[in-house]
Homo-oligomer: A and B are copies of this chain.
């Protein structure tokens, strides 16, 4: 069970970092296809809990009560032989409720292709996606700026711009000015696991722990005002106030009393909302 927590927490934490760095823009988890299928639903669920806007695996989407989202694949464009033809075919056939987001990096330079697609689908075009290969990303922000400029110049200011392909949170500060949403792959799904460990710290009431661990059972307190955490022995009695003067709350609460669960299970939507609320308390570099 420990492994489940370590890996799931790693994914959710990385998703939260990306969501924070995107500063309000949509972040969609695309990474499930690069991990073992057995854990794809776990990865998607935790990406969602950490703040992702949507997930791309239908099964996982069902688990969390959201709809899977996505855009047309490169394969469609390759088979059709032209981006505009593929966009028009997609537009003709697919249910009108689905947003038309067209991949524009397959054959041509994104600047040219964005204009061609926008002129073909007109107001029905919801967005374009740039999955630009790395060998063509000399200055990705500049490419995005050009696409935005050309669309705006032609009265297509409503077309949204999505980017994907090896994006991580460190790149977002540069790209945010031109981007409406991100598709994030292995950056989230292959996140570093959090090395939680379960340690014996007390034996029959006697504090005892191995070297490197602090012995005795503990309380973890968080100040509800400045969000600083503090670890104290369980025996510490009433939690002292934080140095900032704010009240402290216990982060560790009993979940099961040996017979029944003391809390109702939260919906993924409720958990995600709580995460986003906490995230708002932290600076981008903390």
Interface residues of A (CB under 8 A from B): 1-4, 6-8, 10, 32-40, 42, 74-75, 77-79, 81, 105-109, 111-112, 133-140, 142-143, 145-146, 149-150, 152-154, 186, 189-190, 192-193, 195, 199-200, 203, 207-216, 233, 235
Contacts and interface: CB of A to CB of B under 8 A. Distances in A.
Contacts of A142: 135, 212
B210 A78 contact: yes
Given A134-B138, A139-B135, A203-B79, A210 B74 contact: yes
A42 to B, nearest CB: 6
Given A138-B138, A143-B135, A153-B233, A106 B211 contact: yes
A193 B190 contact: yes
Contacts of A150: 207, 214-215
Contacts of A35: 3, 6-7, 193
Nearest to A154: B207
Contact of A210 (B105, B138, B190): B105
A106 B137 CA distance: 17
A37 B203 CA distance: 28
Contacts of A190: 7, 10, 192-193
Nearest to A199: B74
A194 B151 CA distance: 30
Contact of A36 (B4, B133, B211): B4
Contacts of A211: 105-107, 109, 111-112, 133, 136, 146
A37 B186 CA distance: 20
A140 B2 CA distance: 28
Contact of A138 (B133, B152, B195): B133
A146 B146 CA distance: 25
Given A8-B36, A107-B108, A142-B212, 17 more contacts: A2-B33, A39-B39, A79-B200, A81-B208, A106-B211, A107-B210, A108-B112, A133-B210, A133-B211, A133-B213, A136-B136, A136-B138, A136-B212, A149-B214, A150-B207, A154-B207, A186-B195
A189 B107 CA distance: 36
A74 B212 contact: no
Contacts of A40: 3
A88 B211 CA distance: 21
A281 B203 CA distance: 52
A190 B33 CA distance: 16
Contacts of A207: 150, 153-154
Contacts of A209: 78
A37 B38 CA distance: 10
A264 B208 CA distance: 55
